[in-house]
Amino acid sequence: MTIAKNICLSLLIGSFCWMSACRQTTEYQDYTSQKVAKSDEGMVVAAHPLAAKVGVDMLAQGGNAIDAVVAVQFALAVVYPRAGNLGGGGFMLYDEQDGETVALDFREKAPLAATKDMYLDTEGNPVDGLSTRGALAVGVPGSVDGLLAALEKYGALKDRALVLKGAIDLARKGFAISATEAERLNKYAEDFKEQNAYLFPFVKNSAWKVGDVIVQKKLAQTLQAISDKGRAGFYEGTVAGALLNTMQMNSGIITQADLNNYESKWKAPIQYKYKGYEVNGMPLPSSGGIVMMQMLKMLAPFNLDSLGFQTAESIHLLSEVERSAYEVRAKYMGDPDHYPVPIREMLSDTFIDSMRQSLDLKRARVSITENTKQANTPESFETTHTSIIDQAGNSVSLTTTLNANYGSKLYVKGAGFFLNNEMDDFSVKPGVANLYGLVGAEANAIAAEKRMLSSMSPTIIKKDDQAYMVLGAPGGSTIITAVMQVFLNMSEYDMSLEESVNSCRTHHQWLPDHIFVEKGCLSIGIRNALKAKGHQLKDKNYMAKIKAIHRGKDGSLTGVGDKRNPDDHAQGL
Ligand code: DON
């Protein structure tokens, strides 16, 4: 991709040109994206070339995987505004070479004033858009607390200013937007105007195009405050004041007490063996770790290779396994700090054996739909995932999101960032689907200070005590099945990492009761064979976009960004 140095000149005289958002100098960095990289030293795969470069620079300056991932995430908040964020939350897995493997939960929380029925009308029906747009949709942001907690505990450099410098420079000097970003900004232009009664750097009166440069002065100041004051630079003082002001102006319910109370949590990963591999996944409130464990353990006794890659038989098996695990997700999973989730049972071999026994190897079962409407399937949203392995062999897998593109579309004017719409990941009413068509139950009902259930699945797979694969993805409900399929492509079907990532994917999530198939994938013959088994098939433009690293037997690293996201970028040290 070539970025034209096209500097919204026409806008410089336009009344909608927002102060410093458009500029004439060419101080910003040009870039192109690279999908595959090789290195014997270190590797960064991220959702944007400029952010990946910031991570590689960090490694080159002696930083470890944590220094690099934190630098990448702050940079993504600048150059990847549709999902990179300060106003969202996420999950991280970190594996220290010869040390521990830990999980960090920096998922957003429901505000203290949140209530179970807050999105329902007087008749008990969900009010359209209330959990997805504007101030009420916003969960208490966790990203800044989480990134700083990771940096403090495991960063090698102990130099917050250096780690944030790359992001601050990009915000101050500006960056040229990619074609995909231009397309998204144009798509949501009306929503931005609808949700915000003021101009900000992502609003202008003509269409965005590739190469337009965006400078984010307010965001640079916010990042500087975080650099100078740490957590207090975001959750207190001017930035917090701007966020709370945005809340008040838009009838939101987040208060200073919510910001003070926010705390990310260190947790033990979901860890198990699959055919000689040690899989590390994210624990609740991400469903990713448990759902993938149940699916892989159900699959373990089968010889997938002999069933063939994406034959009607293997897709049937995969889909039925996925159906079972997503049913458990919908019925029983939620934030265990607020609901007695039967975690031990869900992880037990006895329970998973019973799930396997209930599979029908010949026919599609029917997802029971009592109290449940078949939901629409989602449009394509963005989340952002970063995978890194450093020179010492430490690896990190981190996924973060605003939920939908640009989250709630609400922008904190005084501090320069978008706020999430993560509250929609709660079950707003039993049986009512969220943006991803997922339904939930009491375990994922809204309660004050509770974290909403997630599908984000940062994953680290080890072999012989070393990271073998580091991967994760955006893609809502399709993340978990995509991560599993990419792992199976390598481990069962002997594909290269590049083939594994770029191969067609299928997905079943119990409800709606379809096999989702990426457009243009599967022959008519296979589609008909699946229909003959009782499956309904539904095409989807694309599923989760994986960012992965593989360590070969000789120790060399291959990084792969997904062809599904033009901005994905792999870069070696
Ligand atoms: O936590 C979740 O599962 C969702 N909020 C993730 C959103 C997402 O991946 C959007 N992107 N494609």
pLDDT confidence tier of residue 372, bands split at 50, 70 and 90:
low
380-421 per-position pLDDT tens digit: 677 899 999 999 999 999 999 999 999 999 999 999 999 999
- Name the nearest CA neighbour of 349 among 304, 279, 297: 297
User: What's the rounded mean pLDDT across residues 238-261?
Assistant: 98
Rounded to the nearest integer, the mean pLDDT of the chain is 93
Instruction: Give the pLDDT of residue 382.
Output: 78
Strands 417-418, 459-463: parallel, antiparallel or unpaired by DSSP?
unpaired
C-beta of 425 in contact with ligand 1 (< 6 A):
yes
User: What is the rounded distance in angstroms from the CA atom of residue 405 to the CA atom of residue 181?
Assistant: 10
Q: Is the distance from CB of 465 to CB of 526 less than 8 angstroms?
A: no
The Å distance, Cα 18 to ligand 1 centre, comes to 30
What is the DSSP secondary structure assignment for residue 158, as one 8-state letter? Answer: -
| Closest protein CA for atom 9 of ligand 1 | 476
Q: At what angle do helices 237-249 and 217-229 cross, to 10 degrees?
A: 130
C-beta of 383 in contact with ligand 1 (< 6 A):
yes
Query: Looking at 222, 372, 383, 481, which residue is catalytic?
Result: 383
pLDDT: is 19 or 131 the higher one? 131
The Å distance, Cα 435 to ligand 1 centre, comes to 9
pLDDT confidence tier of residue 31, bands split at 50, 70 and 90:
confident
pLDDT confidence tier of residue 17, bands split at 50, 70 and 90:
very low
Instruction: Give the pLDDT of residue 373.
Output: 56
C-beta of 456 in contact with ligand 1 (< 6 A):
yes
| Best mutation site among 180, 479, 505, 546 for ligand 1 pocket (most ligand atoms within 8 Å of CB) | 479
Residue 190 has pLDDT above 80, yes or no: yes
User: What is the rounded distance in angstroms from the CA atom of residue 44 to the CA atom of residue 157?
Assistant: 18
Residue 404 CA: nearest ligand 1 atom is 10
C-beta of 132 in contact with ligand 1 (< 6 A):
no
530-564 per-position pLDDT tens digit: 999 999 999 999 899 999 999 999 999 999 999 99
Instruction: Give the pLDDT of residue 28.
Output: 65
C-beta of 73 in contact with ligand 1 (< 6 A):
no
- Which amino acid, 141? P
| Closest protein CA for atom 8 of ligand 1 | 476
Point out which residues pair with 387 in neighbouring strands: 45, 397
Q: Is the distance from CB of 519 to CB of 493 less than 8 angstroms?
A: no
- Tell me if residue 383 is catalytic: yes
| Best mutation site among 335, 436, 444, 543 for ligand 1 pocket (most ligand atoms within 8 Å of CB) | 436
Instruction: Give the pLDDT of residue 45.
Output: 98
> Which tokens in the block code for residue 33?
């994206």
C-beta of 475 in contact with ligand 1 (< 6 A):
yes
Question: Helices (DSSP H) in 263-380: which residue ranges?
Answer: 288-299, 304-307, 312-332, 343-347, 349-357
pLDDT confidence tier of residue 16, bands split at 50, 70 and 90:
very low
Instruction: Give the pLDDT of residue 9.
Output: 28
- Which amino acid, 398? L
Residue 425 CA: nearest ligand 1 atom is 5
Q: Is the distance from CB of 428 to CB of 444 less than 8 angstroms?
A: no
- Name the nearest CA neighbour of 241 among 415, 420, 77, 74: 415
Quote the Cα angle for 257-167-379, to 5°: 75
313-367 per-position pLDDT tens digit: 999 999 999 999 999 999 999 999 999 999 999 999 999 999 999 999 999 999 9
User: What is the rounded distance in angstroms from the CA atom of residue 325 to the CA atom of residue 367?
Assistant: 12
User: What is the rounded distance in angstroms from the CA atom of residue 178 to the CA atom of residue 48?
Assistant: 9
pLDDT confidence tier of residue 368, bands split at 50, 70 and 90:
confident
Instruction: Give the pLDDT of residue 27.
Output: 60
Query: Which region among 26-40, 185-199, 239-253, 292-306 has the lowest average model confidence (pLDDT)?
Result: 26-40
Question: Helices (DSSP H) in 20-142: which residue ranges?
Answer: 49-60, 65-79
User: What is the rounded distance in angstroms from the CA atom of residue 258 to the CA atom of residue 139?
Assistant: 10
The Å distance, Cα 139 to ligand 1 centre, comes to 14
Residue 515 has pLDDT above 60, yes or no: yes
* C-alpha atoms less than 13 angstroms from C-alpha of 335 in its C-beta half-sphere: 20
Q: Is the distance from CB of 30 to CB of 170 less than 8 angstroms?
A: no
pTM here is: 0.95
The Å distance, Cα 456 to ligand 1 centre, comes to 6
What is the DSSP secondary structure assignment for residue 406, as one 8-state letter? Answer: T
Instruction: Give the pLDDT of residue 138.
Output: 98
User: What's the rounded mean pLDDT across residues 75-83?
Assistant: 97
How many residues are present in the chain?
A: 573
Instruction: Give the pLDDT of residue 379.
Output: 57
The Å distance, Cα 95 to ligand 1 centre, comes to 23
User: What's the rounded mean pLDDT across residues 497-515?
Assistant: 97
> Which tokens in the block code for residue 10?
């026409």
Residue 278 has pLDDT above 70, yes or no: yes
Q: Report percent pLDDT > 90 for the chain.
A: 90
Instruction: Give the pLDDT of residue 431.
Output: 85
User: What's the rounded mean pLDDT across residues 485-503?
Assistant: 98
Residues 6+ away with beta carbon under 8 Å from 360: 320
Q: Is the distance from CB of 113 to CB of 253 less than 8 angstroms?
A: yes
C-beta of 454 in contact with ligand 1 (< 6 A):
yes
The Å distance, Cα 362 to ligand 1 centre, comes to 32
- Which amino acid, 198? Y
The Å distance, Cα 401 to ligand 1 centre, comes to 6
Q: What is the DSSP string of 470-504?
A: EEE---TTHHHHHHHHHHHHHHTT---HHHHHHS-
Rg (CA), the chain: 22
What is the DSSP secondary structure assignment for residue 137, as one 8-state letter? Answer: G
Cα→Cα distances 260→235, 240, 248, 299, 488, Å: 7, 10, 17, 44, 43
Residue 25 has pLDDT above 70, yes or no: no
C-beta of 562 in contact with ligand 1 (< 6 A):
no
Instruction: Give the pLDDT of residue 5.
Output: 34
User: What's the rounded mean pLDDT across residues 81-95?
Assistant: 98
Cα→Cα distances 557→46, 93, 333, 398, Å: 15, 19, 36, 18
Q: Terminus-to-terminus CA distance in the chain, angstroms?
A: 22
Residue 1 has pLDDT above 50, yes or no: no
112-167 per-position pLDDT tens digit: 999 999 999 999 999 999 999 999 999 999 999 999 999 999 999 999 999 999 99
Instruction: Give the pLDDT of residue 2.
Output: 36
C-beta of 181 in contact with ligand 1 (< 6 A):
no
94-124 per-position pLDDT tens digit: 999 999 999 999 999 999 999 999 999 999 9
